[in-house]
Each structure stands twice: as C-alpha cells, then as structure tokens.
Amino acid sequence: MKYVVTGAAGFIGSHLVEALQLAGHEVAGIDCFTDYYDPAQKEENAAGFDVARLDLAEDELDFGDADGVFHLAGQPGVRSFGPVFADYVRRNVLAAQRVLEAAAGARVVLASSSSIYGDAETYPTPEDTPPQPISPYGITKLAAEHLARAYATSFGLDAVVLRYFTVYGPRQRPDMALARVVGALAAGTPFELYGDGSHSRSFTYVSDAVEATIAAMERAPAGATYNVGGGEEATMREVIETLERISGRVLDLRTGPPAAGDVHRTSADVSRIRADLDWAPSVRLEDGLREQWSWASARVAAR
C-alpha cells in the first residue's frame, strides 16, 4: 500500500513510519520540524527514512494516489493557554482541515487525544462519554475530530479517529513527564513535578499505539472512533518509584503547583477497539519503562 504519514519525524510518527516500511508498504513522510522542541531530536528520529518538509497549514498538499493518510502532525501539550493558542489553532485545526481537504479518496486515520474528555464523567472512559476538554489543546483536537465528521458527512471522506492516552517509550517528546523523569535520573539533575504526584494516567507503550494505528487503517469501519490506551493505570508517584527501581537511582524530586489544563486522571476503556479490531495493549508498564530508561540513559552517556 501507499501511505502518507504527517508528523513523520515526531515521536509516534517515526515509529509508525518504520513499522509500515518493515511491513513492506511505501511511505511518504511529511513533517514541518517546528521548534516546539529541539528539531535536532526530530532529525534523529527520522534518520532512517526520507521526510518532506512541509507546513500543512500553508504549503500545497498533494497526496497523489495514496491509499491512506495517517495524520499525526500537530501542536502537542496541554499548556496551551495565552498567546501560544494561535499556534494550536493553526497546527491542529487549520492543518487538519487542509489535510482532510487534500485526502480526497484516501482513507484518513486522524490522531486525537484523551485530552478531549477533560475530567471525564466515567472511569474507565468509553468513547461515547461527552467531551469536556479543559485545555485549549484539547479543544483544538476535538475541533479536528468534528472537521473529520463534517468531511465524512458532506463529502464521503473515509475517516477514523484515534484518541491516544499518554503514549510513552523511546523518542518520547522531551517536554512530557516521563521523558523529563528519565532524563533527570540519567543526568542526575533535579525534576520538578507538577502537583503532588497523585494524578494518574492510562500509560500506552508506543509499539502498542502503532499497532492500533495500523489496525485502524486496515480494518476499522468508516467513521469509527477509538480509544487507544494502555492496560495499566498508574500515578506519577508510582511511575517515579518504578523508574528509581529500574535505574537503581534516586530522583532529586521537587514539587510545584499543578499545571493549568492538566486533568487529574485518564483511564481508557478499550472494549470497542478490542471488539472491532481485536487489539489490546500487550506491553506491561514496567517493561515499557525499562525500554524508555535504556534508550534515555544511552543517549545521555553518548553525549
């Protein structure tokens, strides 16, 4: 098959490109290499494949005869209040609209986020839970979902939405909590925790997320929406204790106030994707954390 992957040099996108190529597919990678975090890490992520440098919000888009488009590009992070909101609108809403417009006859898998639920009414959270995002980021991801439905209704676009829950593993964005924890442990530097550490997440290892993403492209019914979440929920305090045990080190932990827009808990109900696509997370949290620690500590040692 011929696939397009936007955000190909990012964390999940780079793993997805590699998995698709390993399966024998032809992949065209696209990335804007924004400075949300160091573009050098994105260059490292994409060292093994070609990536076209395009700004989805303004450059001409032509997906040619692609069979499918994985739209993973976007502006991440719940700390999205204030002047930076303009970047979120441009990169999450306008860019998504232009990708959907250009996708034409191709199937689209759209990467969304558990952030659209906000502080959800039910845990574990099923897909039919009313969305109540509490961050501008979550609002823009929900807007992109609505755009996909609008294009499906008005133009017959074949789109599937995936709501990722806290994906982690090697190459994770450096601003994310787990990346910051393993980086601080590896370098022996202090780590500032937002809040008291009681907030919990449905952690999803990156290979599980990639498998779900490919399964959605290959087998999901048009218009479907799925949670993609890990099988184990844990608090940040529990994750830190596990990483200390794995690394054999003690984290120099500092605590600060909770971050605005950060929900207290996420917990994915994945019964729908399990029933439709026969997908379930397979990587245990401790095993995934061990892989992320090995990758991060090797990078620090190589500097």
The pLDDT tens digits of the residues spanning 95-154 come to 999 999 999 889 999 999 999 999 998 999 999 999 999 999 999 999 999 999 999 999
Q: How confident is the model at residue 69 (pLDDT cuts 50, 70, 90)?
A: very high
What is the identity of the amino acid at 272?
R
- Number of structural domains the chain divides into: 1
Residue 141 lies in a domain: yes
Mean pLDDT of all residues belonging to the chain: 96
pLDDT at 231: 87
CATH number at residue 152: 3.40.50.720
pLDDT at 303 over 80: no
Is 295 within a domain?
Answer: no
Question: What pLDDT, on the 0 to 100 scale, is given for residue 55?
Answer: 98
Q: Is 111 exposed, middle or buried (0-12, 13-18, 19+ CB in 10 A)?
A: buried
pTM, to two decimals: 0.97
SS (H, E, C) 114-132: HHHHCCCCCCCECCCCCCC
Q: 168 with 210: CB under 8 angstroms?
A: no
* Residue 218 resides in a domain: yes
Residue 31 · residue 73 · CB < 8 Å: yes
Does residue 124 have a cis bond before it (omega within 30 degrees)?
Answer: yes
Where in the sequence is the domain holding 122, given as residue range(s)? 2-171+205-230+267-282
With respect to residue 250, please indicate whether it lies within any of the assigned structural domains: no
pLDDT at 190 over 90: yes
What is the average pLDDT across 218-225? 98
pLDDT bucket at 300, cuts 50 / 70 / 90: confident
Q: Which residues are catalytic?
A: 137
**193 within a domain of the structure (yes/no):** no
Q: How many CB atoms lie within 10 A of CB 101?
A: 13
- The answer to whether residue 219 sits within a structural domain is yes
Instruction: Say if 139 falls within a structural domain.
Output: yes
Mean pLDDT of 219-246: 97
Q: How many angstroms separate the CA atoms of 211 and 199, rounded?
A: 27
Q: Does a structural domain hold residue 246? A: no
Q: How many CB atoms lie within 10 A of CB 145?
A: 19
